Amino acid sequence: METRSAKRKKIAQILQENEAKLKLSSIDRISDLPDHVIHHILLLLPIKCVAQMSVLSKRWKFLWITFPDLDFTTLNPFPLISTKNYKKVSKFEKLRYPLSSQNMDFITQVLSIRNAKNKDIRALCFRACLSFSRLNNLVRNAIRHNVRELDIEVDTEVDTDDFFNFPRCVISSESLKVLKLKSGFRLPPSSIMRNGFQSLHTLSLSLVILYNQPSLSDLFSESSFPLLRNLHLDMCFGLIHLRVGCRALEDLNLERCYHLQGLDVCGAKIERMRVTSCFDAYCNKTWVRMNVPKLEKLIWKFNAVTDVTVFENSNLLHEASIGFFMLKEGKVNMGRLQSANDFFSGLSHVRSLALESQTIEILSKYNIIIQPFYNLKSLELHTGLKKRNVQALAFLFRCSPTLHTLILEIINDYKIERKQWNRDLWSITSTEEEQYWESQIPSLKSFLQHLKVVKIQGFLDCANEVTLAKFLLKHGKALEEMIVCSGYSNRRDSLRRQNIRSQMMGFSWASSNAKVEFQ
Amino acid sequence: MASSSSNLISLKTSDGTVFKVERALAKTMKTVQAIIEEADANIYMIPIHNVFSHHMDMIIDYYKLSVAGKSKEFSVEKLDNDELKDFLLAVHYLNMEDLFEVLTQAVADRLEKKSVGYVRKYFGIENDFTPEEYAAIRKKNDWAFKGDDIEPEEDEEKQEE
């Protein structure tokens, strides 16, 4: 049996051993990862954290002063819009509190601690409220550090009507590859801008004041911006004419240019184009010209129908989403109808098409003759499916002779009652709606022979959609699947729904393979 | 450049265990893929240094989950910092992009929102600054220590002197 002192000695020994083990195990665990791996981890953290870790050890100080991306936007997560810009911007933009200017001196500090060997920074991003001279100094400082990506959102300190001038030092930078600038700023004349930006591949300009140069016809020409692949222009106030012809451009995104009257896009490499909320709806001399042979994806939404459209056919067009915008009191004259027709003929090779409700309203109201979409495999229609829309739908089906998938998104305006499907009418051989669809069968022959999948969302058991669903089941020879998603949320109507379902299932279908799924 | 006739690749970890993995999984390891492509003849066994069998177990787990579309269910919470760091090094050696992103994010999550003193203790980073150097670097990055979202520092540097 051990004596007490022997026991004590043993315990002391064990404690000592544990101490030694602890000491060993507290050797640096994370730091034997290589530098670039730690950088990789640090890039996932807010910059404040990373800067704090610079005090941990000499190596960590080194990691900080060689840190490639300086993203200060994590310091103030909300975007800035001052009151003067607020008036110009749509009423749905929220107002945020601007950041005070003294907070931005540390950016200069951070840049200054980088030594000569590790001067270069890869990216600099910040949001601030600054005077122009401060902004200019910061940008110049970043350019001196050969910055490759600049992402800046700024606003002037004082709430005056003054706007920034574009910081010209970026124009001649040879290292700058990405420039994103959001502010209320004026562009310098094209002659100055054109000769620079030799390395730029992405440009995003937001809140640009162009009243003094409403026509940007030679800024984005074939010879300027030689490496530009992505161009994004947002809220260009006063922009009336725009021509884009940059040779290397692949992606064009134009939004909220409400004063635009003329758009000319000519790009041999453009693959994706997005134009939303553009064109002056009150002007009757608007035009668009598009020569984009390699276009694969087009999003054209909330744009007023232009008076003239020249849209060269794009054989590679894969996907298009079209939503014309029409003023409530607007009338579409003959010229505009022709223009809409020309627009659609530019889309004639598309494989997947989505049409917004206003576009379908225009098609419902006016007789537009569209050439059939021979390659169309998927058609998505957003519509209120009112009585007047039914003919437009039949017309679109006629134009889609080899359609594979039809998606109908019914927009239910609960204020307006649509004609409910009356189960008493079941005994009558056919309603007016059914008769209409039956009359369309000859012209829909090809459509009915190819249609495989139908998906209807927002199904409210109203006459129009029940009739259509019935019609497609009754005559869709190739139909494989029909998915009906109810727009109802209350259980009160579940009995009604069950009745309608049993009615729909209770007649012979053209396709024996068809399956109907209710969700 | 003959390719293996079977769909399984044999990988030998540093502790000697042999894992037979699907070709698709081996493809996610760019290092292994490069070895396979470089080999002139059929290669029977590929040794993977710095990778232990418990790492391979987790890699296979991750692969199975991601194939089933459940990659978000993969968790490294049960690993302590040492183990996480070792695993990260193994995955880095194997050059597996997706899993590397997952692990770096996991480490970042463990580091975020912790005070400097906490991070130092947690990872056992030794302070090799002189008090003057420390004061200088601290002052230069003063701005990072200001603000209401910063936890008060645990000033154990002073205690160490």
- What is the phi/psi pair of residue A38, to 5°? -65, -40
* Residue A425 identity (one-letter amino acid): L
> What is the maximal distance between C-alpha atoms in chain B?
65
- Tell me the pLDDT tens digit for each residue of A179-190: 999 988 899 888
Residue B100 has pLDDT above 60, yes or no: yes
> B128 and A58: CB-CB below 8 Å?
yes
CA dist A273 and A100 (Å) reads 38
Q: Which of A29, A45, A61 sits opposite B108 (nearest CB)?
A: A45
* Residue B112 identity (one-letter amino acid): E
Question: How far does CA B105 lie from the centroid of its chain?
Answer: 9
Residue A278 has pLDDT above 60, yes or no: yes
Q: Does any CB of chain A come closer than 8 Å to the CB of residue B138? A: yes
Per-residue tokens: A395: 């017309």
Q: Mind telling me how many Å the CA of B3 is from chain A's nearest CA?
A: 33
Q: Mind telling me how many Å the CA of A203 is from chain B's nearest CA?
A: 28
Greatest mean pLDDT range, A34-48, A157-171, A248-262: A248-262
Q: Quick one: closest CA in A to B148, which residue?
A: A75
DSSP states of A472-504 as a string? HHHH-TT--EEEEEE----GGGHHHHHHHHHHH
Higher pLDDT, A416 or A504: A504
Query: Are A334 and A308 a contacting pair, CB within 8 Å?
Result: no
Residue B161 has pLDDT above 50, yes or no: no
pTM value > 0.80:
yes
Provide, as residue numbers in chain A, all residues whose Cβ is less than 8 Å from the Cβ of B113. 49
DSSP states of A368-433 as a string? ------TT--EEEEEE---HHHHHHHHHHHHT-TT--EEEEEE---TTSPPPBPPGGGGGSS--HH
Sign (positive/negative) of CA torsion B31, B99, A30, A43? positive
Query: Are A284 and A263 a contacting pair, CB within 8 Å?
Result: no
Helix (H) or strand (E) holding A348: none
- Tell me the pLDDT tens digit for each residue of A360-400: 988 888 878 888 999 999 999 999 888 888 989 999 999 99
Per-residue tokens: B49: 């240094």
> B141 and A54: CB-CB below 8 Å?
yes
- Tell me the pLDDT tens digit for each residue of A221-231: 998 999 999 99
> A44 and B82: CB-CB below 8 Å?
no
What residues have CB less than 8 Å from A369, skipping those under 6 apart? A341
Provide, as residue numbers in chain B, all residues whose Cβ is less than 8 Å from the Cβ of A104. none
Interface predicted TM-score (ipTM): 0.84
Q: Quick one: closest CA in A to B146, which residue?
A: A48
CB pairs under 8 A between A and B: 99
- Tell me the pLDDT tens digit for each residue of A438-471: 899 999 999 999 999 999 998 877 778 888 988 8
Q: Does any CB of chain A come closer than 8 Å to the CB of residue B105? A: yes
Higher pLDDT, B15 or A31: B15
Provide, as residue numbers in chain A, all residues whose Cβ is less than 8 Å from the Cβ of B124. 25-29
> B124 and A53: CB-CB below 8 Å?
no
Question: How far does CA A202 lie from the centroid of its chain?
Answer: 16
Q: Mind telling me how many Å the CA of B142 is from chain A's nearest CA?
A: 9
Residue showing tokens 């953290």: A45
DSSP category for residue A462: B
Higher pLDDT, A327 or B65: B65
| Percent of chain A scoring above 70 in pLDDT | 83
A349, with CB counted inside 10 A (0-12, 13-18, 19+), is middle
CA dist A352 and A320 (Å) reads 6
Q: How confident is the model at residue A252 (pLDDT cuts 50, 70, 90)?
A: very high
Torsion of Cα atoms, A249 then A255 then A257 then A263, to 10°: 40
B8-12 and B18-22 strand pairing: antiparallel
